[in-house]
Amino acid sequence: MTSATAAASAATKSWPHDIYEVLKQFNVRQVPYVPDGGHAELISLIHADPQMRGISLTTEEEGIALLAGTALGGDRGVLLMQSSGVGNCINMLSLIKTCRIPFLTLVTMRGEYGEFNPWQVPMGSKVQACFELMDVQVLRARTPEEVRPTVAAGAAMALNGNTPTAVLLSQQLVGAKVFVK
């Protein structure tokens, strides 16, 4: 790649790529996830990186428990999920609080801006409240430009400051899922 094309590619990097770079910068190694369309590009980048370990879960609360083990063993980790998984995590968040486990999660939002599927709305609309009930700080990114600084702020709080933090990636950013008959 010439320096001109490298510069052009840097200028057009996607927000998932920005997240990937922040995770690298913070030396994140284990990335448990329940897949979501909004996280697909990031998950691919993680699996392609030999320094990182993408860990597919059967349910989101497994990721919380896994991160406790990650911390015991001295690795850094970040949990990826979509908004409907947040409710699954409530009781397991006790582990984060009781053992003071470093906790950062990046949540792609459904059930808010332009949502076609009403079944996503009850949980999606309560995501922030659920996290706050369990004393997880909530940050939000609404535009592609906001993603890098917001994820970096969340990572600094969670991984350097040990303040449990969730970054919500708004549906304006992810886009409403298009259902085609």
Partner 1 sequence: MPKSNRLERRKVVARLVRDRKELVVVTSLGSPTYDLADAGDHERNFYLWGAMGGAGVIGLGLAIAKPEIPVMVVVGDGEMLMGMGNFATIALQAPKNLTIVVLDNELYGETGSQTSHTSAGADLGTIASGSGIKNVLRVNTQAEVEELAVRVNSVGDGPTVAIVKIAAGDDKRVLPSRDGVWLKTRVQASLGTLPA
Stretch that binds partner 1, among 15-23, 26-34, 116-124, 167-175 (CB under 8 A): 26-34
Residue 77 near partner 1 by CB under 8 A: yes
- Are 46 and 16 in contact, with CB atoms under 8 Å apart? no
Separation between Cα atoms, residue 85 and residue 127, nearest integer Å: 9
Identify the residue among 43, 45, 64, 167 touching partner 1 (CB under 8 A). 64
Stretch that binds partner 1, among 4-12, 13-21, 86-94, 129-137 (CB under 8 A): 86-94
- Are 107 and 147 in contact, with CB atoms under 8 Å apart? no
Residue 112 near partner 1 by CB under 8 A: no
Separation between Cα atoms, residue 62 and residue 65, nearest integer Å: 5
Identify the residue among 67, 86, 157, 169 touching partner 1 (CB under 8 A). 67
Identify the residue among 7, 40, 72, 133 touching partner 1 (CB under 8 A). 72
Separation between Cα atoms, residue 146 and residue 144, nearest integer Å: 5
- Are 80 and 42 in contact, with CB atoms under 8 Å apart? yes
Binding site for partner 1 (CB under 8 A): 29-30, 32, 53, 55-59, 61-75, 77, 91-92, 94-95, 98-102, 162
